[in-house]
């Protein structure tokens, strides 16, 4: 029989609908995710295997969706994200000397009389900058990485109280060509839009005299934050599933000490739906998605954290397919019925280009 301390360790506690942790859960170290381990873990199956290693060989065949023009589009779509790294600055952005001087901000007063209005403004402004969905939740230190991808400890400034969680819809036509290189455009553009959005929203908040820490995939786990902020639920595919777009979104967030009202988690029956559906698992070409009837606390460390009730994906197999494919795969996203409410299940790369070229005439 387990002793009392062992029983307590296994005790479950709910975070939100269909998102449950037990006491084996600990904050995750980003240094141990797939993209970190390929750089340093010599024992890892994907050590020094990079996503674009096989591109020259793949594009030499000239297969639609895997041509040089498709790869160039995918790479170019990452430009803002990859080269505007100050988008994720924790400090106010510095202006060049030739730009007009802007007055130093004074803190905008927020209290019970106007907090609802300010919250509405923040959400509206996030959407003006390109957000598709916006929710707000309390800052929860459990989701903050202990270290970043290169092993540097993460220490957020004191006083942060809220997180603005944001989902950005990805291009429906491009992602429907998955797993072709053409669909990489949807991912890259999503990340570039993410960088521009969180940088702009953070500057807006700073201009009102409050702290703002913009974040993409860095700093903290985006999915549990988005779940707590009411953007969606955790799916069989290991991703956030929204009612509006399925998992066809990129997630980002802004940490702040600005007083804001919180949203509630949502439960639209996704876990029961995922129990029956299994389309993402059937569509995955490398069996990286579980067919188990029920979610469990099973995990595959060290690339995943323990203590989360979910259908656990095999991230190592997923990434290996990316390497062999010469780019990302989004088939678990496109095969989801919640995605197919607003996008096609599959679009041939030739049809994608025909449509886009016609749009430009």
The predicted pLDDT at position 172 comes to 96
What integer best gives the mean pLDDT of the chain? 93
46 lies in some domain: yes
Angle 184-207/115-128 helices, nearest 10 degrees?
Answer: 140
15 lies in some domain: no
Nearest Cα residue to 287 out of 317, 309, 251:
317
CA angle 348/352/357 to nearest 5° reads 145
Tens-digit pLDDT profile for residues 329-338: 999 999 999 9
Integer Cα distance of 14 and 128 in angstroms: 34
CB burial readout 119-151, b (16+ within 10 A) else e: beebbeebeebbbbbbbbbebeeebbbebebee
The predicted pLDDT at position 9 comes to 44
Nearest Cα residue to 62 out of 181, 188, 183:
181
346 lies in some domain: yes
322 lies in some domain: yes
Domain that holds residue 313: 34-93+105-359
Ranges of residues in the chain with a pLDDT under 50 are 1-11
14 lies in some domain: no
The predicted pLDDT at position 252 comes to 99
Tens-digit pLDDT profile for residues 165-196: 999 999 999 999 999 999 999 999 999 999 99
For the entire predicted model, the pTM comes to 0.93
276 lies in some domain: yes
29 lies in some domain: no
The predicted pLDDT at position 4 comes to 38
| Number of domains making up the chain | 1
Tokens 């072709």 identify what position? 180
The predicted pLDDT at position 93 comes to 86
HEC states along the chain?
Answer: CCCHHHHHHHCEEEEECCEEEECCCCCCCHHHCHHHHHHHCCCCCCCCCCCCCCHHHHHCCCCCCCCHHHHHHHHHCCHHHHHCHHHHCCCCCCCCCCCCCCCCCCCCCCCCCCHHHHHHHHHHHHHHCCCCEEEEEECCHHHECCECCCCCECCCCCCCCEEEEEEEECCHHHHCCCCCHHHHHHHHHHHHHHHHHHHHHHHHHHHCCCCEEEECCCCECHHHHHHHCCCCEECCCCCEEECCCECCEEEEEEEECCCCCCCCCCCCCHHHHHHHHCHHHHHCCCCCCCCCCCCECCCCCCCCCCCECECCCCHHHHHHHHHHHCCCCCHHHHCCCCCCCCCCCCCCHHHHHHHHHHHCC
Q: Which two tokens stand for residue 9?
A: 């360790």
23 lies in some domain: no
How many CB atoms lie under 10 A from the CB of residue 48? 11
Residues facing 212 on adjacent strands: 256
């Amino acid at each position: 029989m387990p002793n009392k301390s062992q029983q307590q360790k296994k005790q479950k506690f709910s975070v939100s609908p269909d998102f449950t942790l037990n006491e084996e859960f600990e904050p995750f170290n980003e240094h141990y995710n797939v993209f970190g381990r390929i750089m340093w873990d010599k024992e890892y199956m994907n050590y020094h295997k990079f996503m674009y290693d096989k591109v020259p060989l793949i594009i030499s065949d000239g297969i639609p969706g895997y041509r040089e023009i498709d790869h160039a589009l995918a790479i170019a779509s990452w430009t803002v994200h990859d080269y505007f790294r100050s988008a994720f600055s924790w400090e106010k952005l510095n202006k060049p000397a030739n730009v007009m001087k802007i007055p130093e901000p004074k803190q905008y007063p927020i209290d019970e009389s106007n907090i609802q209005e300010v919250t509405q403004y923040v959400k509206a402004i996030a959407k003006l900058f390109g957000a598709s969905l916006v929710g707000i939740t309390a800052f929860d230190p459990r989701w903050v990485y202990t270290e970043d991808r290169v092993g540097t400890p993460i220490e957020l400034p004191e006083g942060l109280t809220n997180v603005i969680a944001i989902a950005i819809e990805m291009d429906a036509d491009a992602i429907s060509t998955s797993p072709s290189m053409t669909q990489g455009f949807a991912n890259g553009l999503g990340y570039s839009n993410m960088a521009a959005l969180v940088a702009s929203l953070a500057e807006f908040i700073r201009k009102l005299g409050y702290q703002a820490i913009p974040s993409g995939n860095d700093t903290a786990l985006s999915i549990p934050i988005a779940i707590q902020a009411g953007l969606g639920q955790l799916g069989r595919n290991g991703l956030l599933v929204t009612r509006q777009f399925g998992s066809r979104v990129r997630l980002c967030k802004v940490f702040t000490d600005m007083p804001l009202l919180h949203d509630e988690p949502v439960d639209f029956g996704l876990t029961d739906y995922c129990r029956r559906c299994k389309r993402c698992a059937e569509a995955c070409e490398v069996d990286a998605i579980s067919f188990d009837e029920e979610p469990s606390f099973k995990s595959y460390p060290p690339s995943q954290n323990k203590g989360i009730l979910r259908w656990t994906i095999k991230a190592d197999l997923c990434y290996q397919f990316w390497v062999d494919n010469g780019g990302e795969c989004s088939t678990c996203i496109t095969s989801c019925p919640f995605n197919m409410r607003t996008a096609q299940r599959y679009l041939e790369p030739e049809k994608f280009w025909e449509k886009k070229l016609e749009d430009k005439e």
